[in-house]
Chains A and B, each alone.
Chain A
Amino acid sequence: MCDFSGKLIAWLDHELPAEEATVVERHLQDCSECRSSVDAYKKVSGEFDAYCDAAIASSVRRGVPTWAPITAAAGAAAAFVALFLVIPRTRVELPAFHLPQAAVAASPAVVAAAVPASVSSIQKIHRRRTVKSASTRNANAAPAQSQNAYLPPDEPMIQIAIPADEIYPPGAVPEGMHFVADLTIAADGSAEGLRLRPRFAGFERRTIHP
């Protein structure tokens, strides 16, 4: 093994002092063994980077059922079709931020018709779970929607409850009061607007149309 083999990775990482780096570069011109080692180290470093990217991408997707990728493409296509079929007939006005829920609820029903019998039992289990969770979410979303009917419906919105103690000194606001921050998110994911509203505990669950 070449004497320089211990310095090649540090050289690749620009971690060698200038004089040493020059010596290594001169050596690389003559030594094919070191040149191929440098190529290998470069390649494995790149693969390690890609592996890290894949790990974070998959960690974000981990909430999705593990077999979901099998039907993901079909599901997406079915969701599209379902939306086109459903929306004009029932004339349901779906705000932009409700579309994903409609897609989740609609896709398995259409997918189930297209899959072979061997996998349909698994599909059924998933369908039940998905529909249940989607309906639960819709039930939760309904009062929130009516409560915030005055807000522009076509902008995705996040509500953050802030205890008054976090922003004012103790005693500065009446007991039981907290704040709700309405955060609207622009299409590119950036925060577009922030509105801070005072709220009294106990009045939170009251809806305009019970």
Chain B
Amino acid sequence: MSGDAAPLALPFSRLSTCASEATTLYRELREPMLRYLVCLGLSSDEAQDVVQDAFLILHRHLASGGTQENIRGWLFRVAHNQARNRQNRYDRNFSAASDAEIEAVSHQATPERAVLEKEKFQQLRKAIRLLTASERECLLLRASGLRYREIGEVLGIATSTVNDTVDRAIKKLAEKCNV
């Protein structure tokens, strides 16, 4: 019987390692992923669905012995593709949170500061709308804390292209917002 126990023990221990790893990743990445998806133009509910799906896929991926390298980029890629599928299904375009009501930030500030912040955000929103989809995606992923290499993996482009795109996008925003 002891001979039978050994092969059984392996998958179970791997499963529990996977589960704890997935939990840690979930705590760490849930918020940045939600933020990324909402800024891509998904509703809050859709974003939560996509994040949940992405973690389910991750769990299956890890349980089936899939690669554990660069899981962060992998998760964002899964979420990005799921978001894109959903948006195709609903026949909507990627938008940089175009309908985001920016009052949300103002409730903690003084009225003067709130007005200034709102104006600043409106200016920024206009500038973000002028970016290309790829520039927006690069900046959003960068704001989520991903490295250029990871951004390249998510979007399926070369790291050098990410470098150029981020450079161009930030310069455009700085110019339009008169920073």
Q: What residues make up the interface of A, taking CB atoms closer than 8 Å to B?
A: 6, 9-10, 13, 15, 37, 40-41, 43-45, 47-62, 66, 69
Q: Verify if B44 is at the interface (C-beta below 8 Å from A).
A: yes
Give every chain B residue within 8 A of A53 (Cβ-Cβ): 35, 105
A172 to chain B, nearest CB (A): 21
A123 to chain B, nearest CB (A): 19
Question: Is B34 an interface residue, CB under 8 A from the partner?
Answer: yes
Given contacts A9-B170, A13-B148, A41-B170, contact A52 B35 (CB under 8 A): yes
CA distance A146 to B121 in the complex (A): 48
Bitwise, B20-40 to A at CB < 8 A (1) or not (0) is 000000000000001110110
Whether A41 contacts B174 in the complex (CB less than 8 A), given A6-B167, A66-B101, A69-B103, comes out as yes
Offer 8 A-B interface pairs, CB within 8 angstroms, sorted by A: A44-B174, A47-B120, A52-B39, A52-B97, A52-B140, A57-B105, A58-B104, A66-B101
Q: A40-B174, A44-B173, A44-B174 are in contact. Are A56 and B101 (CB under 8 A)?
A: no
Quick check: is B88 within 8 A (CB to CB) of the other chain?
A: no
Please give, as numbers and ranges, the residues of chain B lying within 8 Å of A51 by CB-CB distance. Answer: 97, 102, 121, 124-125, 128
Q: Mark B140-170, 1 if CB is under 8 A from A, else 0.
A: 1011000110000000000000010011001
Residue of B nearest to A16 (CB): B163
Q: Contact partner of B103 among A9, A44, A58, CB < 8 A?
A: A58
Min CB distance A183 to B, Å, is 15
Which of A52, A58, A69 has the largest number of chain B CB atoms within 10 A? Answer: A52
Closest to A8 in B: B167
Looking at the assembled complex, report how far the CB atom of A70 sits from the nearest CB atom of chain B, in whole angstroms: 10
Contact check, A54 vs B174: say whether CB atoms are below 8 A apart: no
In the complex formed, the residue of B with least CB distance to A12 is B170
A-B contact count (CB 8 A): 96
Q: What separation, in Å, do the CA atoms of A61 and B106 have in the docked complex?
A: 13
**Given A44-B177, A51-B128, does the pair A56, B35 have CB atoms closer than 8 Å?**
yes
Closest CB in chain A relative to B96 CB, distance in Å:
8
Residues of A within 8 A of B143 (CB): 45, 48-49, 52
- Contact partners of A59 in chain B: CB under 8 A: 38, 43-44, 47, 97, 100
User: Is the CB–CB distance between A9 and B35 below 8 Å?
Assistant: no
Taken together as a complex, chains A and B put the C-alpha atoms of A51 and B35 apart, in Å, by 10
B10, CB-defined interface residue at 8 Å: no
User: B179 within 8 Å of A by Cβ?
Assistant: yes
Beyond A50-B105, A52-B39, whether A58 also contacts B170 by CB under 8 A is: no
Chain A hits for B174, CB < 8 A: 37, 40-41, 43-44
With both beta carbons as reference points, the residue of chain A lying nearest to B159 in the complex is identified as A15
B31 to chain A minimum Cβ distance, whole angstroms, is 8
B37 to chain A, nearest CB (A): 9
Looking at the assembled complex, report how far the CB atom of B102 sits from the nearest CB atom of chain A, in whole angstroms. Answer: 5
Interface residue from B97, B139, B163, B177 paired with A55 (Cβ < 8 Å): B97
A2 to chain B, nearest CB (A): 13
Closest to A60 in B: B44
A13-B142, A15-B147, A59-B43 are contacts. A54–B105 as well, Cβ < 8 Å? yes
Q: Which residues 100-148 in B have Cβ within 8 Å of A in the complex? A: 100-105, 107, 120-121, 124-125, 128, 139-140, 142-143, 147-148
Closest partner residue, chain A, to B149 (CB atom): A15
**B97 neighbours in A (Cβ, 8 Å):** 51-52, 55, 58-59
